[in-house]
Structures are given as C-alpha cells and as structure tokens.
Structure 1
Amino acid sequence: MRISKLFLSVILSISLFAQTSWAQMASTEALFEHRVTVSPKEKVMQFTAREDVAKMLGQMDVDPKMIEERVASMTDEEASQIAQKIDSMPAGSSAAGSLIGAVVFIFVLLVITDILGFTKVFGFTRSVR
C-alpha cells in the first residue's frame, strides 16, 4: 500500500511538470514564414488573367486592354470590394452541376425506398417485402 501511494505521488508530480500540448488547425499562412500580400488591384488583374475568366470575357467581346485600363483607374476602395467578392466566391461550383447532382440523389433515394417497399414510384423495381 505504501509503495502504491509513493508511486502515485511520483506519477502525479511528474505530470504536473509536463507541458500540455494543444492540437490546433494550422492555417496556410502560419505554415509559411513569409506572407505574400497582393494589392486588391493585382488580385483583380490576376483573376481576370485566369484562363477560364479570360475565355468568358472573350465570349462577351471584352478587350483585355480595356480591363487593364479600368482596373488601373479604380480607387483602392472599389478594388478592395471586388477583391473581397472574388475571395468569397465559391470555388468550382455551378448551378447546373448542383442541379444534376440533386436530381441523381433524389432518383437513387427513390429507387432505394422502392426496393425496400416504403414507396412505389418506379415500375421497374420489385419490393423485398
């Protein structure tokens, strides 16, 4: 009994001096030593220079030189508002893709409920009941 109390007191005293580590998510900026800051006007220019955006602007008959002139004539406040909108846009989403995904999900859900016998929507399925 005396040894177990001694052992317990040693373990507790060691644990008091041990450092506790806290797991946290590390941001990308925290992982890199230097931060690259881009001005809002440069961000807008980089966005309009992207291949997909340039292609869409070309389909609308927008001249790239005119875009450069317009961005250069913007105030810093206007450019920062546009850069903020660029940052908040969803990446790679389209309404058509989302709609097709929703339709496929509902179709699969109805087929499964037909097979399980909860609904009878499609005539090509047989219930397991």
Structure 2
Amino acid sequence: MDTLRRLSRPLSHLVVLGLLALSVHVPAAQAAIVTTDAIVSAQQADEDRARVKGLLDREDVKRRLAAAGVNPTDVAARVDALSDTEVHALAGKMDELPAGGDALGVLVFVFVVLLITDILGFTDIFPFVKKPVRR
C-alpha cells in the first residue's frame, strides 16, 4: 500500500501530461471545391507543355537551336519555367502554322521568348545579351 501511495503522485503527473498532449489542437484541413474550369485548364496546360516539348525534341529543331548557340537543356529548363499562359500562347502559335509546314516560325517565337527572358534577367542563355546590373 505504501508503494502505491509513493507511485501515485508521479503516475498522476504522467497521466495529466498525457491528457494534455492528446488535447493539443491540430488545425483542420482547408477544403475547397475545385471547379471544372480549373481542372480543364491544368490539363490543357500539361498537354500544351507536352506538345511544345515534343516539338523541341525533334532533331531538326535541335539542330537549328544548336546553330543559334542555344543549349537544349537550357531550352527544356526554360519551357518548364514558362507559365501556363505562355505555354498556351506558344502552343497556339504552333496551331496557326500550316500542317507539316514551317517550324521556323515556332523556332523564331521560342528564340524571341528566350531572348526576352534573357534580357529581363530571368535566364542566362545567350552570352551576347548584356545583363542588368544587380545591386
């Protein structure tokens, strides 16, 4: 009986600590309704990105980009970094080209997009572009 009294105080402290630990409030997860438009636009962006990457993986496109001094890994990284609207615009530009026709227009468009991002300092692809001074 004496050992029960001697152990009851530390045991009661342990039980109180355990109950306090169980009562720690965990914030509830925030749930929201996902609209059909959001899902469709995300899927469309993925499809557009895959189409642009498919075009850039063609050998003739790789040769022309290499002739312009562009590294293919930099191009792939830049396509991954494009926003959904930019990818959609690029894929839309591809749709406007004649079937089986001129991929040069897409190459020029990709080159201009890469050049603009290089001028703005978001990428460092072209050595001939003067970079803005960072303070």
TM-score (norm 2): 0.39
- Higher RCO (C-alpha under 8 Å, 6+ residues apart): 2
TM-score (norm 1): 0.41
